[in-house]
Structure 1
Amino acid sequence: MPTPYNMAFACLSCCKSFKREFNLAKECPAKLTCPDCGGAAHNFGRDFKAPKRSDKRQWDKIRFLFDHGFRFQKIRVGSGHHDVVPYPETMDEAREFVVKYKKYAAHVD
């Protein structure tokens, strides 16, 4: 039986983050309902670390990355599977990041 994973979800409206356990062989929803505001809470994967709800700059950066197709999935470059690109810490770094790694972004409608 496959191991269940804790997936991080974040509501970009109210800046709420929470985890839910899923068996990835059976299901992995892209979004759930936010338990605080009832809005959409998006799946940011297993490795997402949410900032404090009061950290507006960091949540703005997360929204920016999300709007450009980045869901905090691991981005691997090079031939080794350990060559993981760190996500940007500032908005200026995020602007450069979306240009440099756009081929790794999810399709955005």
Structure 2
Amino acid sequence: MGHDFQAPQQQDKKQWEKVEILYRNGFTYHSCGCGGPGYRPAQLSEIAAFLDAHRQYRSEGERLLQKLSVRA
């Protein structure tokens, strides 16, 4: 997950779900050592808006894969 990753409490299922969703969508916690990996949502409820805001950076293949996985 990267050097800047701080694991949630083991029993915090919502935070672990958030981490899993971010990872599946290509967001990790790597940085160049210059201030962290950038903004990551603090709550599971913020994930949809975060992913929508970053959708423009996805390739055509990634967008197609996302559409297929949402329908499944």
Moved over 2 A (4+): none
Name the % identity.
Answer: 28
Q: CA deviation at 1:65?
A: 0.8
Higher RCO (CA-CA < 8 Å; seq separation 6+): 2
Q: Which has the higher strand share?
A: 1
Distance across 2 between alignment mates of 1:73 and 1:93: 20
TM-score with structure 1 setting the length = 0.43
Which of the numbers 54, 60, 65 marks the counterpart of 1:101?
Answer: 54
2:22 paired with 1:61: no
Distance across 1 between alignment mates of 2:19 and 2:51: 12
2:30 paired with 1:86: no
* Structure 2: gaps of 5 or more residues: 66-72
Larger Rg over CA atoms: 1
2:26 paired with 1:73: no
Partner of 1:52: 9
RMSD: 2.6
